[in-house]
């Protein structure tokens, strides 16, 4: 067991088997942080950490999943990455702040498959929306000054007429 202290000062004990294959968390498990000082997670609160542990527990046997379809390295206009049923349910209904918190925490903790899942979820939220709708989705006011409007038009044209 490894003990973590979250940003809201909650102590959470985690079984090594749950986190052994997941980035930074796995490093703590493999380096025998058992019965040693608790590991501080300064930017992750207990609610978010428990959600991340739920993901790690579900995928403890297969941590190196790939969210995109085989051979696909990018989004195209006609094809979205497949998201499994459990992953969809896991991400469904998350508040925007929780979703972005998961993305930031997964990046910090080196949990690539969860980071990818979060990013694909955000990308799917944006598909088919105008720049104004995307701005509103992410807490903007939906209006742009002239420079922002030019940038939006450039990237809209770029994404519709290019494949990466």
- Ranges of CATH 3.30.710.10 domains, the chain: 2-127
DSSP state of 69: P
Is pLDDT at 57 greater than 70 in this prediction? yes
Q: Are 40 and 5 in contact (CB under 8 A)?
A: yes
Q: What is the mean pLDDT of residues 6-23?
A: 87
Cβ count near 74 (within 10 Å): 9
What percentage of the chain carries pLDDT values higher than 90? 27
Identify the helix (H) or strand (E) that includes residue 3.
Answer: strand 2-6
What pTM value is reported for the model?
0.75
How many whole angstroms separate alpha carbon 17 and alpha carbon 61? 9
Q: Report whether CATH 3.40.50.1100 matches the domain 2-127.
A: no
Q: What is the mean pLDDT of residues 138-161?
A: 65
- pLDDT bin (cut points 50, 70, 90) of residue 147 is confident
């Amino acid at each position: 067991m490894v003990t973590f202290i979250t940003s809201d000062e909650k102590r959470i004990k985690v079984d090594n088997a749950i986190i052994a294959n997941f980035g930074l968390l796995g490093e703590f498990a493999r380096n025998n942080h058992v019965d040693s000082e608790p590991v501080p997670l300064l930017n992750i609160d207990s609610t978010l950490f428990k959600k991340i542990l739920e993901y790690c527990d579900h995928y403890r046997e297969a941590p190196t999943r790939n969210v995109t379809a085989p051979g696909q390295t990018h989004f195209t206009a006609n094809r979205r990455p497949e998201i499994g049923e459990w992953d969809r349910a896991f991400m469904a209904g998350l508040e925007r702040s929780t979703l972005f918190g998961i993305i930031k925490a997964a990046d910090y903790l080196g949990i690539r498959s969860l980071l990818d899942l979060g990013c694909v979820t955000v990308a799917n939220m944006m598909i088919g929306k105008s720049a104004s709708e995307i701005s509103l989705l992410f807490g903007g006011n939906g209006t742009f000054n002239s420079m922002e409007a030019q940038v939006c038009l450039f990237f809209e044209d770029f994404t519709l007429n290019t494949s990466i």
